[in-house]
A and B are shown apart, each in its own frame.
Chain A
Amino acid sequence: MEAVKNAVRMEGITKRFGNVVANNAINLELHEGEILSLLGENGSGKTTLMNMLSGIYYPDEGQIYIHDKPVTIASPKDAFDNGIGMIHQHFKLVDVFTATENIILGLNEEGKMNLKEAGKRIKEISQKYGFDIDPEQKVYNMSVSQKQTVEIVKVLYRGADILILDEPTAVLTPQETDKLFAVMRNMQKDGKSLIIITHKLHEVLEVSDRVAILRKGEYIGDVLTKNADQQSLTDMMVGRAVSLNIDRPMPVDPQPRLEVKGLTVYDELGVKRLNDITFTAYSGEILGIAGVAGSGQRELLEAISGLYPIAEGSIIYHNPKTNQTGDMAGKDPLEIQKSGISMAFVPEDRLGMGLVGSMGMTGNMMLRSWRKKKGIFLDKKEPERVANAVWKELEVVTPSVDFPVRRMSGGNVQKVLVGREIAQDPAVLMTAYAVRGLDINTSYTIYNLLTAEKMKGVAVIYVGEDLDVLLELCDRLLVLCGGQVSGVVDARTTDKRQVGVLMTRVGGKNNEK
């Protein structure tokens, strides 16, 4: 085999966000003319790493070489000058412009703007690689796949020979995915080097020559695709089981608390986000919900708490105090509160949904209790007492209970949120990515709080992304894939590999030996 030339070499790249190390001393190579898959779970640092290549972030440490020359990439323009083009997950197009206008936008070519000439070049590029594009079409008339095509052509038009595609198939139908892969192979034949970020294993196996795997910000290694299969890739992606020593007592006298039956929801574009979800959450247990990001976790929790419109299905709540049951599907949060259902919800978007950033702890404690007192004025005493209790018990670092929570660190923000939700004395506690971005100590504080709630007889629902934590903290795991339940497993007897398979394929059970 002749010596491979590197299109990109990243050496010892480290990037931190506050205390969180997103990328730790990563070495990555992209050979000329290959398609490399960058594989990893959510939060493993794939996108961060690629953003440094495309000039959106600047690495704290390390050096990037393009075609074996050391370069500094401090801005997207630098990236472009080095022939690097990234196609982001969220398209950055001007809706009211045509494809051509979007493609030449910001190019600053010499001379007069020549749309005809540009249109011709776009047609040439399209024919060369097999794109299906109408240069005159306005973006707002385009399908998602067409918009993606514009993004790719835009990058090619600017002469990029290194292309990064960030989860390009997440928004595509299988047929569109096949088309995209065909185009990618055409580009490869033309000598371009490509990186595709994904966590869908069968796509990795189908399209790439080589796979590089990241896990929790670390570079795990690379394999040639022809030597890999789904199982070996899953193993590398999720890693060996790490013992976290989370205390997990057995559930005491579990009783059905929340029965979700046939829950189906659609988003505002009419896309089905949850498809016939059925499960039961018991008191005194932690039910984990696993799945790759965007499998319907957010929609599920928001639908239960009355924030997401429900198309079909029922949510039966068993009230432990009155022993009554009632369907809460279709009720809004106020009605749920008023009907005596004590439900706590720690949403994923802490400052955008769970808290009011500009207010202090007291103001935020009020968010759950301000309605209770009669009359037109606010009761500040009780929330202040709760705020002080949370401050002390959870060791929140803040100068005072009136200090705006927006200016606290991430861990403290989460303590305020979790502390408030627990202080409501809930019967059901739902948390979404409760430890995302938190350091180890705070994470353990949260685990212990959740376990303590469980032992009080609360039905805890824990949406998580770290499989090690899910398997050690929870009693049972519900695995979601593409808005469907792909399996419910006992967290004590299941291993990561099984969950990993369920996460990537609906009906993964059929694949088990």
Chain B
Amino acid sequence: MKNKKALFHIVKREALPWYQAWLIRGCAILLALLMCSLVTIIVTGLNPLALYKTMFYGTFGTNRKTWVLFQKLAILLGISLAVTPAFKMRFWNIGAEGQVIVGGLACAAVMITLSETIKSNTVMLLLMLVVSVAAGALWGFLPAFFKAHWNTNETLFTLMMNYIAIQLAAYFIIIWEVPKGSGKIGIINQKTRLGWLPYLGGKQYAIIVLLVAILTILIFIYLKYSKQGYEISVVGESERTAKYAGIKVERVIIRTMVLSGALCGFMGMLLVGGTDHSLSTELVGGRGFTAVMVSWLAKFNPIVMILTSFLLVFMQLGAKEVATNFYLNESFSEILTGIILFFIIGCEFFITYKIQFAKSGKEA
């Protein structure tokens, strides 16, 4: 019989001081950049430093580019904030995409169908807000209700709701298409600018950035200091503990998903009323899913989510720049994003666990 023995054990760490944890994370990012450089040299033969520089230029190069960065960052962060309460509750809601779209659809519906009746921009904006939030909330309520009462699988349910939302949007786009036969809605209310979010200081995106900044703080406070936030944490940790503490789990699930959906609907309104001024099925463009990653990477901390969403948006915008300047495929930058994410997520393992190598010759 061969004498087999495990080479190493994986052992859970005692608490790690915060600076050591951040040291590990820093090392991970450094390693990731090294790895990216290596891959760049091997695959493209380009100077990685030049590549990084171009990426940086792509995001901060001009005033316009910086504002685009801010806008994209704000939208992604906003959607991430919206999904966070549900995920903190361990409710696997991957329906943010659809919730944002129905919010946008509802917003566009108000802007288009009521453009003749309502003349006041304030009334219009308020109506858009109410309708978008309600539509998103409904999209969040349905899967939660079924989950709470019949324990349906929320992942599949929310995923399916995405398709319904996208198909609904596609249907109404054809009805409202301008000009006829184009299959598109052009810019809504281009002349009257009715229902367009106001420009702050002449900047189109400033109001979005401001609103999302406020939202970040509100969600942070909600999760950390409110009773409902506490209930969410307890339900997410263990439903049995929640019941033991007298928390009505079903009610918390529904309430939280309605909140998540409502916030998504709100983001849909910001997209339609604030940036696109139009509606397409590509309105959200996968950000409903990216948001899940942003939220998880930040461990549901809204403040850290600013960093994680920045990282993803930076890589995405940098990628475009690299693609045009070096005639590379945009996929190459996605490879780099993948490498960086791999290292960042992977290093969490070393923060929670340590590896102990077996001492040899202990047994007969």
List chain A positions with a Cβ less than 8 A from chain B.
Answer: 63, 69-72, 74-75, 78, 82, 305, 307, 332-334, 336-337, 345, 347, 349, 351-359, 363, 366-368, 370-371, 376-378, 380, 399, 403-404, 407
Q: Pick the interface stretch among B2-10, B24-32, B116-124.
A: B2-10
- Closest B residue to A74 by CB, please name it: B4
Interface membership of chain B positions 195-230, coded 1 if the CB is closer than 8 angstroms to chain A and 0 otherwise: 000000000000000000000000000000111111
Asked if B244 is at the interface of the complex by the 8 Å CB criterion, the answer is: yes
Which among B229, B241, B363 is the interface contact of A72 at CB below 8 angstroms?
B363
For B226, B230, B246, B247, the residue with the greatest tally of chain A CB atoms inside 10 Å of its CB is B246
B244 and A333 form a contact (CB under 8 A): yes
For B225, B226, B233, B238, the residue with the greatest tally of chain A CB atoms inside 10 Å of its CB is B238
- Closest A residue to B238 by CB, please name it: A352
Which among A354, A363, A376 is the interface contact of B227 at CB below 8 angstroms?
A376
Interface membership of chain B positions 239-257, coded 1 if the CB is closer than 8 angstroms to chain A and 0 otherwise: 0110111111000000000
Decide: A358 near B237, CB < 8 A? Known: A74-B5, A367-B245, A371-B227: yes
B237 and A370 form a contact (CB under 8 A): no
Decide: A337 near B364, CB < 8 A? Known: A72-B3, A352-B240, A370-B230: no
Given contacts A353-B241, A370-B227, 9 further A-B contacts (CB under 8 A): A70-B1, A82-B1, A333-B246, A352-B240, A367-B244, A376-B226, A376-B228, A378-B225, A380-B225
| 8 pairs from A and B in contact (CB 8 Å cutoff) | A63-B364, A72-B1, A75-B4, A347-B244, A349-B240, A376-B227, A378-B225, A378-B230
Asked if B81 is at the interface of the complex by the 8 Å CB criterion, the answer is: no
Q: What is the number of residues of chain B that contact chain A, defined by CB distance less than 8 Å?
A: 29
B contact residues around A351 at 8 Å (CB): 238
Which among B15, B244, B245 is the interface contact of A407 at CB below 8 angstroms?
B15
B225 and A377 form a contact (CB under 8 A): yes
Asked if B234 is at the interface of the complex by the 8 Å CB criterion, the answer is: yes
For B6, B15, B238, B244, the residue with the greatest tally of chain A CB atoms inside 10 Å of its CB is B244
- Closest A residue to B231 by CB, please name it: A370
B244 and A345 form a contact (CB under 8 A): yes
Closest 10 CB pairs of A and B: A334-B246, A333-B246, A353-B240, A367-B245, A356-B237, A71-B1, A74-B4, A353-B244, A376-B226, A377-B225
Which among B6, B12, B15 is the interface contact of A399 at CB below 8 angstroms?
B15
A74 and B6 form a contact (CB under 8 A): yes
- Complexed CA–CA distance, A253 and B233 (Å): 43
- Closest A residue to B240 by CB, please name it: A353
Q: How far is the CB of B18 from chain A (nearest CB, A)?
A: 12
B contact residues around A407 at 8 Å (CB): 12, 14-15
- Complexed CA–CA distance, A307 and B287 (Å): 41
B contact residues around A355 at 8 Å (CB): 241
B238 and A356 form a contact (CB under 8 A): yes
- Closest B residue to A332 by CB, please name it: B246
- Complexed CA–CA distance, A209 and B110 (Å): 84
Interface membership of chain B positions 13-42, coded 1 if the CB is closer than 8 angstroms to chain A and 0 otherwise: 011000000000000000000000000000
- Complexed CA–CA distance, A380 and B227 (Å): 11
A333 and B243 form a contact (CB under 8 A): yes
Q: How far is the CB of B13 from chain A (nearest CB, A)?
A: 9
A contact residues around B241 at 8 Å (CB): 352-356, 367
B contact residues around A378 at 8 Å (CB): 225-227, 229-230
Q: How far is the CB of A341 from chain B (nearest CB, A)?
A: 12
- Closest B residue to A333 by CB, please name it: B246
